[in-house]
Structure 1
Amino acid sequence: MPHTIAHWADNKPYPGSSGNTAPVTNPATGAITGHVALAGVPDARHVIGAATAAFPGWRDTSLAKRTAILFRFRELLNERKEELAAIITAEHGKVRSDALGEISRGQEVAEFACGIAHLLKGGLSENASTSVDVSSLRQPLGPVAIISPFNFPAMVPMWFFPIAIAGGNTVVLKPSEKDPSASLWLAKLWAEAGLPDGVFNVLQGDKDAVDELLTNPDVKAVSFVGSTPIARYVYGTATAHGKRVQALGGAKNHAVILPDADLDLAADSMVNAGFGSAGERCMAISVVVAVGSIADDLVARIADRARRLKTGDGTRDADMGPLVTRAHRDKVRGYVDQAERDGAKVVVDGRQVEPDGDAGGFWLGPTLIDNVRTDMSCYTNEIFGPVLSVVRVETYDEALALINANPYGNGTAIFTSDGGAARKFQNEVEVGMVGINVPIPVPVAYYSFGGWKSSLFGDTHAHGAEGVHFFTRAKVITTRWADPSHAGVNLGFPRND
């Protein structure tokens, strides 16, 4: 029987009062497995209110106690990640190994946040002026909102909330209504780890919930990941209401394959990066830029590998699962149809896939399109599906110009055996994250994630040192004391709690 997926406030489920819901489906079967609550404005304000009420106490909780809870959360997550992976597979459709990989990358940020004390250290200048000391410190912002997409229901929220919580903020997470259950599982884990009531909250919903988060004066910052049009809207609306915003938008990621590249490595990498998670990744490679005479050989190698992939139910022995909804699957198919009408060659046709799964699933197999032009819709749009387009160019300079002319600047890669060419590329390409013989250059947690151009709105990237700075603000204190103070005698060993 389909169940109701509620909100979460004050460490317990909150059913809400709007009465509105949306269906949640299993993409591998098409069956409705639940109904997620859609918040009205009163529901959103109730959840935000829980975060607001909890902030003063959490802000004043010692770093030692905060990090102890973070360590406990990390240990519980590691022990039970199979449970979370099963939830992700059931609602998103990605295969189990991919779901586990997503959790591991999110867990890296939780581990990074366990060392937050070092990153929150301030500075002190003694006698900056006569008997005057100047010091600096970083303090939390208050309640913050995280609006996350469907494609990574665990990893993307974990890019943000461990650092926000470690820094002394309280959190309202608004997950995608397409796969909302992972957020509640994480909320329960935080409660078990000992996080106080109201520090981590979940607001289910659609645009009404988002708009309240963007405009409510109690919410001090917004982290968003999604498509570029919505990222632009989130950034514009939230900043107009005085909030700090990091809005990560869409992508059109290119991989340049130079003639001296290891073509087997390149072909393997293109298949991995193009079809993993059914291409529903903002860091997926969607355009292969084949330079010079290698194009025919490269396309043949990619096609051979793509044809051997098994598409099917993520709970079975499959390489790639379904797309998240029927509507999204049909939209992606439409790009393939249009590319064919525009004269591109569909070398591997995922529309003809025979999946290992229920006939009602949202299936589209790996698709490889050759001879793509830059005016075709399969090139100009972010498809967000298992479609790999091949653009042929004659020179490195043409490849570089192609990437730099694109409005997106999220991720890119180059495959070459020439260190000089690689160094030239990393210097000249106008993209935020670059891989050299690495197809999906997602930074480790202690570096920061984010693109350039229309792939990012706001100046601060996710996690790493930039993430810590986003969720805290600096304060500088200038001090003069006429006489030294005396704290009295205490022979006990100093404690840091």
Structure 2
Amino acid sequence: MNIIKHYVDGQAYDGTSGKTQPVLDPSLGKPQSEVALANVDDINHVIESSAQAQKVWAKLNPQKRVRIIMKWISLINENMDSLATTLSLEHGKTFPDAKGDIQRGLEVLEFALGAPHQLKGEYSSEVGAGIDTYSMRQPLGVVAGITPFNFPAMIPLWKAGPALAAGNAFILKPSERDPSVPVKLAELFMEAGAPAGVLNVVHGGKESVDALLDSDVVQAIGFVGSTPIAQYIYERCAATGKRAQCFGGAKNHAIVLPDADIEATADTLVGAAFGSAGERCMALSVVVPVGQETADRLRDALVARIPSLQVGHSLDKTSDYGPLVTQDAKNRVENYIQQGVDAGAELLADGRTLDMTDASYEGESLAGGFFTGPTFFDNVTPEMSIYTDEIFGPVLSMVRAETLEEAVKLPNEHEYGNGVAIFTSNGGAARDFATQVNVGMIGINVPIPVPIAYHTFGGWKASGFGDLNQHGPDSFRFYTKTKTVTSRWPDDSNAGPQFSMPVMD
């Protein structure tokens, strides 16, 4: 069986641990390859490679670095279909969704082409007699990204693009569940003309992560994953003086006002809740209609749409969404469905009843795939686990509210604060909502409010740890440090020694 190796110094690297882990095809429920797993010695080797390469990379002026990134963008586009197919087969998201994964990553690379502008410092002349002050942004050195399975192209590019453009070397530790695309992206970066070792990819679990966290050479860590791990990484980085940018879980709400277009909103909610099998940190997993009439109308509209959703192989053009990533993920989601039933929520669509026994794709049975059908609960209350917890699956919960104030209270008091949306035709209500809600990213009639690449992405509360967000100007601030120089050149005058604090008269 094919082994997906690490990518170090511009070539495949076996590693020294001898350990591997299966990479599954979630549509079929069986292994399709294996991935090598690193040990501490491997991580130390990768760090040394990155440190040496960074010295060369940082000496290139920003224009030359972005020309290489520009070529990288071109190569990724040329290989789009191949990358999306690989991504789809390892993750389980549909082919169009996989292309979207890559495209959203490319948009951040395109933003990173503005590095010469983003890295400009400031200059002030004559701040004192014959004294000038200026600042410069310099790369941190070696930085690392620990990225999740659900976006194996987008999140690595979000992390690596600005870091590389700023002159850092980047170590990528992607999810071992779908590692092929991250390796291919690194290969294409080398093909674009990057020095060997500037972008290294290493696979592994907690041992690898801890080795990166403990290294004195690695200056910053970017992470996306669950909240407990985000908090663990953030705290460990703080203890060792590393910069950390850690994003965790979410429970995104959609508030629907009585003046919303119910039919259009229902269409939007179906895609936002069930797309990619709900394995998105920005998935809308809670809908909060305001008023009983609004709730009843929306309930009927959703119940009418759910049976028509097609669940199947990730490459099947008729599939609206594919499988969950692993059997454990499927078991976890279906356990939450049972918890909702046990807690007294009204189950209107039960994804556990999906029968794939006779389903197939190109002659291969899908009976062993990790499929769960769309699930919809009504009359969910805030103390239920299906409301409090991030399920990360195709499960939509309806929590009814009598007033907008009651509806807004739900996301404001939830421990997560990633994204929230409001559906309304009332501009004043939408504006007030955007101001009052205690969440990092807001959608107004937009179900998944992921900002465009030149703004920043980041959640509040338990959804995000760290002062700076992903992509946009924050990414360059995160991956650089500011040095400020105050200078005066000697002239013929000699004022003699000064013993008081200098001031700018």
TM-score band w.r.t. shorter chain:
over 0.9
CA distance in 1, matches of 2:488, 2:167: 28
Match of 2:418 among 410, 420, 426: 410
Matched, 1:139 2:142: no
**Which residue of the partner structure matches residue 153 of structure 2?**
154
2:266 alignment partner in structure 1: 267
Report the counterpart of residue 34 of structure 2 in structure 1. Answer: 35
Query: In the TM superposition, what is the alpha-carbon distance from 1:297 to its structure 2 partner?
Result: 1.1
Residue 354 (structure 1) shift? 3.4
Q: How does 1:106-121 map to 2 (within 5 A)?
A: 106-121=105-120
1:45 Cα shift? 0.7
Tell me how far 1:216 sits from its aligned partner.
Answer: 0.6
Q: 1:266-292, CA deviations, whole angstroms, 9 ceiling, x for partnerless residues?
A: 111111110111000000000001110
Hey, what's the Cα distance between the residues in 2 that align with 1:424 and 1:12?
A: 54
1:394 CA displacement: 0.5
2:476 corresponds to 1:468: yes
Once the two structures are TM-superposed, the CA of residue 375 in structure 1 deviates from its matched residue by: 1.1
What amino acid sits opposite 2:308 in the alignment?
Answer: R
Where do residues 415-494 of structure 1 align in structure 2 (5 Å cutoff)?
415-482=423-490
Contact kept in structure 2, 1:8 and 1:47, CA below 8 Å: no
SS in structure 2 of the partner of residue 385 of structure 1: coil
- What is the CA–CA distance in structure 2 between the aligned matches of 1:49 and 1:430, rounded to whole Å? 42
Matches of 2:487 and 2:304, distance apart in 1: 70
2:299 corresponds to: 299
Contact 1:227 1:249 in 2 (8 A): yes
Residue 346 (structure 1) shift: 1.3
Normalising by structure 2, what TM-score?
A: 0.94
Matches of 2:486 and 2:355 in 1, distance apart?
70
Instruction: State the SS of the aligned residue for 1:210.
Output: helix
Match of 1:493 in 2: none
Map 1:280-319 → 2, pairs under 5 A = 280-292=279-291, 293-317=293-317, 318-319=319-320
Q: Which residue of 2 is the match for residue 84 of structure 1? A: 83
Tell me which amino acid in the other structure corresponds to 1:80. N
SS at match of 2:467: coil
Deviation at 1:309, TM superposition (A): 0.8
Answering whether residue 321 of structure 2 is matched by residue 320 of structure 1, we say yes
Q: What CA distance in whole angstroms lies between the structure 2 residues aligned with 1:64 and 1:371? A: 57
The AA in structure 1 aligned to 2:443 is G
User: Is 2:393 the partner of 1:385?
Assistant: yes
The separation in 1 between residues aligned to 2:302 and 2:135, in whole angstroms, is 54
Deviation of 1:238 (Å): 1.4
**Displacement of 1:469:** 0.3
User: Which AA in structure 2 matches 1:329?
Assistant: K
Mapped partners of 2:438, 2:143: distance in 1: 31
Letter in 2 for 1:416: T
Task: Please list every run of 5 or more consecutive structure 2 residues that lacks an aligned counterpart in the other structure.
Answer: 361-365, 492-505
How far apart, CA to CA, are the structure 1 residues paired with 2:197 and 2:109?
Answer: 19
**SS of aligned partner of 1:220:** strand
Q: What is residue 495 of structure 2 aligned with on the other side?
A: none
| Distance in 1 of aligned mates of 2:265 and 2:480 | 41
Q: How does 1:186-265 map to 2 (within 5 A)?
A: 186-265=185-264
Q: CA deviation at 1:425?
A: 0.3
Give the drift of 1:41: 0.4
CA distance in 1: counterparts of 2:90 and 2:126, whole angstroms: 60
RMSD: 1.1
- For 1:130 and 1:101, the matched residues in 2 are separated by 56
Gaps of 5+ in 1: 484-497
Name the residue aligned to 1:360.
368
Rounded Cα–Cα distance in structure 2 between residues aligned with 1:123 and 1:403? 40
What TM-score, normalized by structure 1, do the two folds share?
0.96
Alignment partner, residue 395 of structure 1: 403
